[in-house]
Structure 1
Amino acid sequence: MHKVSKLIASVFAASLMLVVGSATAQAQGKIATIRAAELVQQSPQFKAGQTQMKSEFDKRKSDLEAEAKKLGEDLQKFKREQDVMSADARSKTEKDLNTRKIDFDYKQRQFGEDFQKRDKELTESMMGKIKAVIEAVAKEKGVDVVVQDPVYATAAIDITDDVLKRLQTAGAGK
C-alpha cells in the first residue's frame, strides 16, 4: 500500500511538472535573433542605396572640392601679392574673396544638409524593406519575438541568414 501511494504521488508530481513546463513554454513563446549590421551591409538594397547616393552627390562633391582648391589658391596668391597691390585693388580683391568664401561655406553647408536628408530617406526606405522581410520570415517560422543583436544567442535561433537570402532574392528581382 505504501509503495502504491509513493508511485501515485510520483506519477502525479511528474504530470504536474509536465503541465507546468508546457504552460511555461507556451507563455514564453518562440524567440529568434538577427544580426542587424550584417543584414544592412550585405543586403543588395544597402548596396543599391550606396550606389544611388554616390551617383547623386559625387558631382557636387567634386565641384565643391575644386571650388575649395581654387579659393585656397586665390587666397594664397592674395596674401603673397597684397603688399604690392594698390589700395583699391587690394580692397576689391579682399571683398571678392570674402564673398566667395561666404558663398562656398553656404554651398558646403547645403551639400551636407542635402546629403544627410537623402541618406536618411534612403535608410528609412531600406530599413522598412528589411523589417518587412524580417517579419515575413519570423511569421513563417512561427516566431513570436525577434531580438536584434543579442549579446549571446545560439545559431539555432538566429534567422539572419534566412532574412539575408530573402533580401538577396528580392534585390535580384528588382
Structure 2
Amino acid sequence: MNRIVHPIEQESFRRLRARLDTSHFPPLTRAVVERVVHSAADLEYAADLVTDEGDLVKAHAALHAGAPVVVDVEMVAAGITRRETVCRLRDAESGPGLTRSAHAIRLAYEQVGPGALWVIGNAPTALEELLRLDASPVLVIGLPVGFVGAVESKAALRESGLPAVSNVSEKGGSAVAAAALNALLYHPTSEETL
C-alpha cells in the first residue's frame, strides 16, 4: 500500500535535499538519514548518525514481514505511523538499581521475546537494560537524548555488535527515533516497486 505524501512534506524534502546531498548514501541509509534530518530540521544528523546498510536491509524485511516493534515510551509510539507497537512503561515500576524505563524493557522482552525491532528515543537506562538482555534484536534504534548517559549508552550499543541505528552526540529523542523507524516503514518493499 503506497503512502500518500502531503505537498508540504514533498516541499520539505525538496528543500532538505537542496541543502544536504544524501545521494552518496545507500538506499535505506539515505531514507533513515533524510527522515531523521527532516524530523529535527537538523542537518548535522547526516554526519552524526551511525548505520549499516546490511542491518537496515534485514530490519526492513523483518519489519515488513510483521516483526514486533517495541518502544521505550509512548511518545515514540505516537510518532510511529502505520504500525502497532509494544510499550510497557505504564506497567513498569522503579526499584533499587532499576529505573521504570529499564523495567519496562524487561516487561516488553518477556512479552515479545527475540526477533523484535527496538526503538529507544528517551531513556538511556532503557537502552542499557536492553543490552543486558539476550534479546536477539533484528535492529535497535538507539537514539536516547540527554546529557547523562545518552552518549555512553549509544557507544555501548555500537560496541555490542548488535544491528543498530545510533548517533554519536547527546542529540536524539522520541521524534528522531520514531522517524528512523518510519523511514523503514515508508521505504517500499520489492513487491511495492513492481
Q: TM-score, length-normalised on structure 2?
A: 0.17
When you count helix as a share of all residues, which structure comes out higher?
1
Larger radius of gyration: 1
> Structure with the greater relative contact order (CA < 8 A, sep ≥ 6): 1 or 2?
1
Q: TM-score, length-normalised on structure 1?
A: 0.19
When you count strand as a share of all residues, which structure comes out higher?
2
